[in-house]
Amino acid sequence: MTYLARIGRQPWLWAWIAALTVWLATALFTGGQGAAEVMSAATTFGAFFVIVALGQMFVITLGPGNVDLSIPATMTLAGTVAMKVMDGANAMIPVGFLLAVAVGLGVGAINYGLIRFLRIPPIIATLSSSFIFQSAAIWYNRGLRIKPPEALADFATAKILGVPVLAVVVVLLAVVMHFVLVRTVYGRGVIAIGQNQRAAHLAGVPVERTRATTYVMCAVFASCCGYVLGAFSGGAALNMGEEYLLSSIAVVVIGGTSVAGGYANVPGLWGAALFLFLLVTMLNTFGAGAGVRLVLTGLIIIAVIVAASGGRKRDG
């Protein structure tokens, strides 16, 4: 009983309930036809959301005002650079990946530098740096779409028994990040800073080092997502990151992470990512017009967030 009660208070529960409800509603509407395939597609596309949301979650957990708005531009830049350098050659796949990671390290360092040394608030710093990254991507390849190497594209779209390989990899990544969050000194430090930066500092948490690590990590995740998304969708496009700006934040918040910082959880990210994809799919399947769809999307997201934050023990 107490175990059930404890589960019931978990903030990530609501995202999963919402995702399942929406999936069942879709399945009911179609009489069960294609329900498994829809879930398979949801795990594929949810994986991309989860990769960027993992980084965004750590950043948001650092406390009020911390958010990374340069994720779309970072994805575009990393995807563009990697695809152009690989130029479709299988042998260059590792080089492309290392370059994408290097782009992430560079982007993260610049973002943190703006925040720390020029004392620019993170929202402004990452928004303005994103113009630079986006322009760099435009300058580097003028919007030309270069195909990914065959082997990489096959990996990104591969399925085993109907389960996308990419989704399995990202689930493993999420498990690792869950332990980083709850079991490592770094992860506890992020949460402590989010709850009270001064107290964390007095308790011996290396505040600035933790913040630097977090912004760099977030940018590296965004870069990796750009690399994989480019491979998955047949090349990097200048607008490939566009929808990840708001969705990276939405996935974190719907997943039950506090937008004010200090409280985070990884399982909710997967629930929220599946939910966002399944919600659009459900409304498409119902044949709802664009206006109705957007209004309902907004209302449902608000409802889930309210439910999730109602279930959270803020004083615990």
Partner 1 sequence: MMRRIPTALIVAALALGASNQAIADTSGKRIALSNNYAGNSWRQAMLRSWDKVTSQAVEKGVVSAADAFTTAENQVTEQAAQIQNLILQGYDAIVINAASPEGLNGAVKEACDAGVTVVSFDGVVTEPCAWRIAVDFKQMGKDEVLYLADRLPDGGNLLEIRGLAGVFVDDEISAGIHDGVAETGKFKIVGSVHGNWAQDVAQKAVAGILPSLPEIAAVVTQGGDGYGAAQAFKAAGRPTPVIVMGNRHDELTWWKEQKDANNYETMSVSIAPGVSTLAFWVAQQVLDGQSVPKDLVVPFLRIDQDNLEENLATTEAGGVANVEYSLEDAKAVISAAGG
Number of CB atoms found within 10 A of residue 49's CB = 27
Q: Does 168 bind partner 1 (CB under 8 A)?
A: no
In 116-257, the DSSP E strands lie at: 159-160, 163-164
In the shown chain, the binding pattern of residues 240 to 259 toward partner 1, with x for contact by CB under 8 A and - for none, equals x-xx----------------
Q: Does 38 bind partner 1 (CB under 8 A)?
A: yes
Q: Does 280 bind partner 1 (CB under 8 A)?
A: yes
Return the ∠ at Cα 97 (arms to 94 and 102), rounded to 5°. Answer: 125
In the shown chain, the binding pattern of residues 39 to 78 toward partner 1, with x for contact by CB under 8 A and - for none, equals --xx-xx---------------------------------
Q: Does 142 bind partner 1 (CB under 8 A)?
A: yes
C-beta of 120: minimal distance to partner 1 in Å? 18
**Spatial separation of the C-alpha atoms in residues 22 and 18, rounded to whole Å:** 6
Q: Does 136 bind partner 1 (CB under 8 A)?
A: no
Q: Does 25 bind partner 1 (CB under 8 A)?
A: no
Largest CA distance in the chain: 60
User: What sign for the dihedral angle of Cα 210, 212, 216, 218?
Assistant: positive
Q: Which stretch binds partner 1 (CB under 8 A): 112-120, 168-176, 181-189, 225-233?
A: 225-233
**Which residue in 35, 85, 123, 165 binds partner 1 (CB under 8 A)?**
35
**By C-alpha distance, which of 224, 217, 154, 167 is closest to 46?**
167
**Which residue in 144, 176, 182, 302 binds partner 1 (CB under 8 A)?**
144
**Spatial separation of the C-alpha atoms in residues 216 and 58, rounded to whole Å:** 11
Q: Does 131 bind partner 1 (CB under 8 A)?
A: yes
Residue 277 contacts residue 23 (beta carbons within 8 Å): no
11 by DSSP, 3-state: which? coil
Nearer to partner 1, 67 or 75 (CB): 75
**Which residue in 12, 14, 15, 26 binds partner 1 (CB under 8 A)?**
26
Burial grade of 312 (CB within 10 A; 0-12, 13-18, 19 or more): middle
Q: Does 281 bind partner 1 (CB under 8 A)?
A: yes
163 by DSSP, 3-state: which? strand
Q: Does 316 bind partner 1 (CB under 8 A)?
A: no
**Spatial separation of the C-alpha atoms in residues 206 and 227, rounded to whole Å:** 32
Residue 263 contacts residue 312 (beta carbons within 8 Å): yes
Q: Does 165 bind partner 1 (CB under 8 A)?
A: no
**By C-alpha distance, which of 265, 314, 276, 316 is closest to 298?**
276
Q: Which stretch binds partner 1 (CB under 8 A): 137-145, 171-179, 257-265, 305-313?
A: 137-145
Q: Which stretch binds partner 1 (CB under 8 A): 256-264, 266-274, 279-287, 308-316?
A: 279-287
- Kindly report the length of the chain: 316
Binding site for partner 1 (CB under 8 A): 26, 29-30, 33-38, 41-42, 44-45, 131, 134, 138, 141-147, 157, 229, 232-235, 237-240, 242-243, 277-278, 280-281, 284-285, 287, 290-291, 293-294
